[in-house]
């Protein structure tokens, strides 16, 4: 089974840039999308009724903001679009897709750059989300977490760590939360297969950073430790254009 995750920075914009053609060629079993920036009623039928896939969407109350979607060939047992904390549910950031043996959590984590208040919101979201994921794991199901986490974990995960030590996305408090996530028994799947530097998933468009590969790795797949034996590979599709992020993925037995 091949699962891909991509922050498309607007699914309607991605559609115009060939998203459906790329999806047809790549043909993952499950496609997770973040930052759709659209409600379901704003989408063309071509995005809602993709041949071979069942589609699920959740959007923010605020128009043109946040939102996630899942396109799946495999039929899930249940899809949950609500997050335990109502304040977080309003931003449409989590879809939980239950496949029986494992639950896939497609998440668009908040960005904390705009203000101290949004940074606190991000940290509160992080903590509530970890409790939520742990609750699923403790129920006896495996957990697969994917999406835009909006934080680079270690110095190897961004091109200019020293210059960004005081920037949200690489603050010690944010990086410490990823440490906590791993301490709770989750694994950064890419680093099981690829320990190399320069493995980035996001590049600033204004400065044309992608041309120089001055990037950040802020998109991840995490799985609980018990699920690791099912992993075949983890990868980044850095050559795929259409967003300021690129797709990432895993393959599982």
d(CA 151, CA 173): 10
CA distance 182 to 97: 22
Residues serving a catalytic function are 148
DSSP 147: E
Through-space distance between the first and last CA atoms of the chain, rounded to whole angstroms: 6
Contact 29, 1 (CB under 8 A): yes
Burial of 230 (0-12, 13-18, 19+ CB in 10 A): middle
CA distance 96 to 66: 16
Distance CA 27, CA 245 (A): 19
Contact call for residues 79 and 56 (beta carbons, < 8 A): yes
Rounded to an integer, what distance in angstroms lies between the CA atom of residue 81 and that of residue 70?
11
What are the φ/ψ torsions at residue 23 (nearest 5 degrees)? -65, -40
**CA geometry: angle at 130 spanning 170 and 80, to 5°?**
120
């Amino acid at each position: 089974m091949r699962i891909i995750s991509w922050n498309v920075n607007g699914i309607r914009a991605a559609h115009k840039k060939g998203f459906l053609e790329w999806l047809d060629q790549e043909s993952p079993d499950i496609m997770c999308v973040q930052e759709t920036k659209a409600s379901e009623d704003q989408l063309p039928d071509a995005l809602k009724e993709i041949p071979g896939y069942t589609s699920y969407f959740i959007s923010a109350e605020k128009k043109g903001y946040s939102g996630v979607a899942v396109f799946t060939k495999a039929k899930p047992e249940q899809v949950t679009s609500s997050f335990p904390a109502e304040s977080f549910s309003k931003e449409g950031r989590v879809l939980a897709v239950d496949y029986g043996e494992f639950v896939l959590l497609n998440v668009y984590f908040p960005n904390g750059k705009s203000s101290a208040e949004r940074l606190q919101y991000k940290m509160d979201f992080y903590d509530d989300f970890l409790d939520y994921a742990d609750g699923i794991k403790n129920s006896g199901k495996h957990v697969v977490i994917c999406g835009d986490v909006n934080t680079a974990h270690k110095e190897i995960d961004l091109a200019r760590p020293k210059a960004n030590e005081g920037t949200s996305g690489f603050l010690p408090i944010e990086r410490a939360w990823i440490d906590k996530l791993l301490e709770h028994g989750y694994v950064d799947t890419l680093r099981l297969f690829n320990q190399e530097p320069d493995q980035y998933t996001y590049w600033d468009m204004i400065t044309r950073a992608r041309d120089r590969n001055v990037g950040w790795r802020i998109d991840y797949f995490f799985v609980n430790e018990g699920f690791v034996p099912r992993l075949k590979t983890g990868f980044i599709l850095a050559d795929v254009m259409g967003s300021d992020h690129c797709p990432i993925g895993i393959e599982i037995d």
